[in-house]
A and B are shown apart, each in its own frame.
Chain A
Amino acid sequence: MIVGNEAFNEQQIVDRIRQGDAKAFAALVKQYKRLVFHIVQRLVLDADDMEDICQEVFIKVFKQINRFTFESRLSTWIARIAYSTAVDYLRKYRKKNMIYDAQEHDLPDVDDLGPQELLVQTDISGYVRKLIDQLPEQYRLILTLYHLDEFSYEEIKQITGLPEGTVKSYLFRSRKLLKEKLVSYLKQDKQ
């Protein structure tokens, strides 16, 4: 868990950053760069821009640190900034890939992997990663926030602004979809 580190005291770090302590800000970047990367990577698939967006997130965190009121965990607040920064980026530069409003009737087809790609995917994790990349952005993000970053439904709601019911529904549907594809893949693998 990202914030489980005892040596990292949120209150102290935030206070020190507010006083202009560069070492405290460096510690914050080190602590949360993985989380920010997960979120940005799930929304922005363009590897060239990913690092710039992650950097922009941390600069926003620094500029807005005085607004942080400890009403949520620091990780949730930073994740929210990362999410809005990535969404802004998509709105600005990738209009065609705008946040996909996932509906039951238009779930994407994740069968698009060619036979060569399937051969390359020797491990299940790799295959699942490929499948996730083809899911709508919000599905990808919610799966990552829940499973990899271990945020609760309530925290995911705070980060994405989606109702808790929608978060649960997206999570359920995306996992079910992945499970079905994985069943087909395993059957194919056995033959």
Chain B
Amino acid sequence: MKDWNDQKIQDWLDQQGKISEASPVDQTQDHQVYRLLYESLETEQPEGLSDGFENSVMVTYQQILRTEQKLLRWVMTGTFCVIGLLLGYLVFLLLDLKPVVQVLFQTLYSYKWHFLFASGALALFQFVEQKLLKRKAGAFDVAL
């Protein structure tokens, strides 16, 4: 019986939507207490997330985007390399390029130290440039 009364009051308040509206059975103590309870349940708690929460989510989001973009670049570079090698091999097979390749390798061999030095210098230049760019980007982040 008691449960039935509680159920009836809860149903009435649920259907009412706006708890401020007067109830026809407002006189009962249970009803009044339920009204107070509903008001409390619909009151927002004073605590919440910190002010910097949105920023911190966005920083993580940007990091994920950067990682995904980097991965995509690697995948694309790899794909292009494989396609390039396959095309090169195909050209090599279709046109009889054996004599040309022989001459090319002989030339490369005679200038091997020059080529090694140039490749090393190029790799070093790329490495230093990347380092400097990263340092610059880091300084920019701090300034922001």
Residues of A with Cβ closer than 8 Å to B?
20, 22, 25-26, 29-30, 33-34, 37, 41, 50-51, 54-55, 58-59, 62-63, 124-125, 128-129, 143, 147-148, 172, 175-176, 178-179, 182-183, 186
| Across-interface contacts of A182 in B (CB, < 8 A) | 33, 36-37
Q: Using an 8 Å CB-CB cutoff, how does the interface string of B37-80 with A read, 1 for contact, 0 for none? A: 11111111101111001101110111011000000000000000
| Cβ contacts A to B, 12 pairs, < 8 Å | A22-B65, A29-B54, A29-B57, A29-B58, A54-B49, A55-B57, A125-B40, A147-B42, A148-B41, A175-B41, A179-B30, A182-B37
A82 CB, nearest partner CB in chain B, Å? 13
Residue in contact with B58 in the complex, picked from A26, A54, A124, CB distance below 8 Å: A26
| Across-interface contacts of B43 in A (CB, < 8 A) | 125
The answer to whether residues A37 and B49 also contact, given A25-B61, A182-B37 and a CB cut-off of 8 A, is yes
**How big is the B interface, by class?**
20 to 34
A-B complex: 8 closest residue pairs judged by Cβ atoms: A128-B40, A147-B41, A125-B40, A125-B43, A58-B57, A176-B6, A29-B57, A147-B42
| Across-interface contacts of B42 in A (CB, < 8 A) | 147-148
Contact between B37 and A128, CB atoms less than 8 A apart: yes
